[in-house]
Amino acid sequence: MLFHNKKAKGFTLTEVLLAVAVVGIIAALVLPSTISKFDSSILENGFKRQEQAIQTAIDVLPIKENATNFGETSMYSDGSKTAEESSGKFIKRYLRVSKYFGDAVINKDAIKKECFAQKYYEYSGGEKKELDIDTMLFGACAKLKNGASLCLAPQIGTTNNIQGVMDLNGPKGPNIIGRDMRSIVLNQVTFSNYSTKVSDDVSTDVYTTDNPNLNPDKPEPCEEGNYTTACCNYFQSMGRITNSSHGCCSNPAVSASIPQCASNITIDLNFYSSGDSTASCVLTSSTCRPTLKGSGTNAKLNNTGSPLTKLPSAPPRVDLYCGGVKVGNMVPGQLKQALEKTSGTYEFKITNKNSGKSCQHQSGSGIKPTKSSMVFENGQSTIYKDGVNWTVKYH
């Protein structure tokens, strides 16, 4: 009988480690280039989208602003308009602005501090060099809601393009000229007529022949981030302040007059029972009408004690107890009406007339706590609802 001793085939540890090392070297050489090309592609596409959005807004300006031709729009200047009067108006009206900075020359320090980065770099001769961007900033500047920072100048005359500069991700890195920060050049709009009247035999590239009676968009007077008293009043009139986290609620000059800024409210209920000369009534009595009196029933801000003439939202339901038994309630809508008015009476809806319990009011000293009481729904004296911490008091 013959025996064959075959040695097992495989890679040695040295061979495996050598193969891993070779793969690692190749990856180290190729991967940075691949990642760089990928990042460059993302930035390139981002700039194209931004430029196309701005170009589209410019192309429809004559219609948006009810102009006969492009020469009458906010993005055209004969050289006499300031940046605020031209491209500044365009930016505020038609782009989604997070914070507007205005003229690039006048407000250069604030723009460089908040809108763009403190330092920028460029590659020249194979070296990375720091670059002063002062000369690159012109026109009107703003930070957009998508994170980009933009300075834009109008078209000056009929032979110039609309130009600007954009950092696709604002102050964030890499802050390299040609990568995340670039100059932008938009299409020149050509036209042959500047007057408001266009004759039948004159053709222009951008104009409306009948000058339709359109309603142009009104300029946006305030941008988010501007919490001056005037802008807060504007935001309030437009319904943009919806809760106490809005920046205008930190402005003491206006916050007390804005219901949505209220985060802690105490409601004071002036309860009494009517219908009996003894100011007390058994609920089975047909003349018993537990009510809230308009005078003395109000809402106040906990932090200042200032009265609220309008509530940010309807308060929770208030439950009425007579002799320790829940007998009815005043729903939020009724209660809101009672708190926002100073006169009249508001009756509770009695749901348990057969209880035989009585609600009692003491003349001049409020209700008897042993006979009557009022709390928020589910028996709570305080309750958090719709972003407001509500507290109830009664007398």
Other C-beta atoms closer than 10 Å to the C-beta of 159 total: 8
Task: State yes or no: pLDDT of 29 exceeds 80.
Answer: no
Mean pLDDT of 208-235: 68
Mean pLDDT of 197-205: 45
Amino acid 65: pLDDT: 83
Mean pLDDT of 327-332: 85
Of residues 207 and 57, the one with the higher pLDDT is 57
How far, CA to CA in Å, does 157 sit from each of 62, 281, 292? 16, 86, 71
Amino acid 1: pLDDT: 47
* Average pLDDT of the residues of the chain: 78
Return the CA Rg of the chain: 36
How far, CA to CA in Å, does 187 sit from each of 56, 163, 190, 328? 10, 9, 9, 71
Per cent of the chain over pLDDT 70 is 82
Helix-, strand-, coil-residue percentages of the chain, each rounded to 5: 25, 30, 45
Integer Cα distance of 187 and 58 in angstroms: 9
Q: Using CA atoms in the order 360, 365, 370, 372, what is the torsion angle rounded to 10 degrees? A: 50
The whole-model pTM stands at 0.44
State the pLDDT confidence band at 151, using cuts at 50, 70 and 90.
Answer: very high
Task: State yes or no: pLDDT of 110 exceeds 60.
Answer: yes
